Amino acid sequence: MAANGILQLLTRAPAALTVAFLLLLGVSHGQLQFGFYSDSCPDAEDIVTAVVQNAAASDATILPALVRLQFHDCFVRGCDASVLITSTGSAAEVNNIKHQGLRGQNVVDDAKAELEDQCPGVVSCADIIALASRDAIAMTNGPPFQVPTGRRDGIFSNVRDADVLPDVSDSIQVLRSKFAASGLNDRDLVLLTAAHTIGTTACFFVKDRLYNYRGGTGSDPSIPPAFLSELKARCAPGDFNKRLPLDRGSEGRFDDSIYRNIRAGLVPIASDAALDASNATAALVAAYLGAASSSFAQDFVGAMLKMGTIGAITGEFGEVRDVCSSFNFN
């Protein structure tokens, strides 16, 4: 069966396809499964969803932040909630500059507290991150989907580990290499970049492209002149904390418009624009623009599920933290 066919079925009968799906992704342990907590904590997923809904009711910008939180977690040491650790002080992974502006940890903490009240020591912080990200996508008009659970929390967090994260200034060659190192291919790169269809970015991540391109004093010549003027008007020198939509004109709604903006050069951060700098990734962007929206949605779900298995700790390894910001042995 083609991967698209499997992903289409996943939204209808995920439990029946657990083994086939995990084998497709190369997960060898076989302990990630849909409905992992159905007996040990039956309301686990509903509790996470309710916490995310409550958080979004007071601050809708938390939704794209939760999706970013999962990416930052899974790309560093795998999906082990290492990004949540703060108890080790300045040595903790989260203090790496590449995690700058990361948000959503408080939502995970709130969900964890409720889960500990109902099912002590059962639901991992790593699973909460994955579930919260899934819910955030659905709540911004993205495709609803189920995620396999059963992850355990890691017992390491080191500030230098996050050096592997993609950077906004990375070339397309570097981006492809970093994704490949995590077992993700060009299609995954293009699809996961589409998460930027929701949310904003700080001018801090755009300033070099506007004023110090490649260490000089000019601007990135690939930015269309009218868009460059627009960006400079919103991000004057020193305005590092002002925010811009990642997907111009559609930052609050999950859709494929990010690809149109990439093709037109109307994206603020360089790593998004870089997708149009390689024949391989540019062809994929063009293909999704010409495809049915259901095809894009199914493939996006597949990339998210694939990312969610990177380095997943299962079985007797790792731990289930009592508090997400601290290892149990601290």
Distance between CA atoms of 105 and 73, rounded to whole angstroms? 11
3 state DSSP class of 313: strand
Give the contacts of 252 (CB within 8 A, at least 6 positions apart): 60, 140, 198
Q: Which of 29, 72, 99, 196 is catalytic?
A: 72
Q: CB neighbours of 276 closer than 8 A, spacing ≥ 6?
A: 262, 263, 265, 282, 285
Q: Are 106 and 123 in contact (CB under 8 A)?
A: no
How many Cβ atoms from other residues are within 10 Å of residue 322's Cβ? Answer: 14
Whether the CB-CB separation of 321 and 81 falls below 8 Å is answered with: yes
Place of tokens 């289930």: 320
* Residue 72 annotated in active site: yes
d(CA 246, CA 198): 7
| CA dist list (Å): 252 to 131, 142, 287 | 20, 11, 24
DSSP 84-125: G--TTGGGSGGGSGGGTT---HHHHHHHHHHHHHHSTTTS-H
Catalytic residues: 72
